[in-house]
Structure 1
């Protein structure tokens, strides 16, 4: 299983991730990404990775569960 990590300090609220995977990402009232789920099933991994790559400031990354530290 994969894990999503967010650099909240880097997030600028572009919401590209939300457009690409609204079941995994949201934006709070302050314009910062919210992870709706941290663990991503392999069946959703490619879609969520694409959503993470769509972030203009590279605030999101998807890693294997063992690399989540």
Structure 2
């Protein structure tokens, strides 16, 4: 699995970080920061939940290696 985030689209909701703080964080302005673009298999369900919960749909996920 790979994950990325559109920082321009982020509205600082923080739901991604609440769903999995091991993968997402926020900068000093509250904008999403992806900590790892290839989350561990055991984190996949929470990453998918984070993408679903994102109010601005800023999180993108896919199968395979990062960017794949």
TM-score normalised to the size of structure 1? 0.86
Structure 1: unaligned runs, 5 residues or longer: none
* 1:1-69 pair list within 5 angstroms: 2-65=1-64, 68=67
Structure 2: unaligned runs, 5 residues or longer: none
Task: Judging by fraction of residues, say which structure has more strand.
Answer: 1
CA RMSD of aligned residues (A): 1.5
CA contact (8 A) 1:26 1:35 kept: yes
Counterpart of 1:50 in 2: which secondary structure? helix
Structure 1 segments, 4+ long, off by >6 Å, are none
The more displaced of 57-66 and 4-13 is 57-66
CA contact (8 A) 2:14 2:32 kept: yes
Size of the aligned set, in residue pairs, is 68
